[in-house]
Amino acid sequence: MTVSTHEELSELLGSRVRDIPDHPKPGIVFKDITPLLADPAAFAALTEALAATAGRLGATKVVGLEARGFILGAPVALAAGVGFVPVRKAGKLPGATLSQTYDLEYGSAEIEIHAEDLTAEDRVLIVDDVLATGGTAEAAIGLVRRTPARLVGLAVLMELGFLPGGARVREALGEVPYQALLTV
């Protein structure tokens, strides 16, 4: 399928996301992106769309959020011709890190970035698969802003429109652009 409009892209991507009810716990409808990843045309269309965003924003680094943000972010960085920087869950990165705690529905979590990976010359696009409550993305925004780099955008494959994550990250981002290729 040739994808030439935003609507066609959304339709293609949306058709490759599978709903798994009651995962990982009762009441949650899990948005499973593995069918999209297994379809090379859909995966390529997604990668190209996000790489175009990186290019438009003049990004020099893509920051991907563990773990599904790595699967999307690394090929986007390659396609855009820029570097990839991982944001990992606490305790995984071996060098000196900056860390940020954030609230989950129950309890809290912590993410980290290598302090030296982003410099004052860098323009950063954060990439992830799903924006739900927005807590992970907001924490990543906070982390990038504590580095010398400039945050130029946040892009996700899909926003869960029935949760307030979109409004939450827009507020955190201010004038910095936010893109969700799909709202479900």
Ligand X SMILES: O=P(O)(O)OC[C@H]1O[C@H](OP(=O)(O)OP(=O)(O)O)[C@H](O)[C@@H]1O
Ligand Y SMILES: Nc1ncnc2[nH]cnc12
Residues acting as catalytic residues? 68, 105
The nearer residue to ligand X, 73 or 165, going by C-beta atoms, is: 165
Which residues of the chain form contacts with ligand Y (CB under 6 A)?
A: 28-31, 130, 132
Tokens of 25: 């716990």
Binding partner at 30 among ligand X, ligand Y, none, C-beta below 5 to 8 Å by kind: ligand Y
The number of residues making up the chain comes to 184
The H or E element spanning position 110 is strand 108-114
Closest CA to 122 of 152, 99, 143, 93: 152
- Cβ-based neighbour number of residue 55 at 10 Å: 14
Q: What x-and-dash track marks residues 147-176 binding ligand X by CB under 6 A?
A: ------------------x-----------
Does residue 133 touch ligand X according to CB under 6 A?
Answer: yes
Does residue 130 touch ligand X according to CB under 6 A?
Answer: yes
Please report how close the Cβ of residue 163 comes to ligand X at its closest, in angstroms.
Answer: 7
CA distance 54 to 50: 6
Task: Give the binding site for ligand X (CB under 6 A).
Answer: 65-69, 128-137, 165
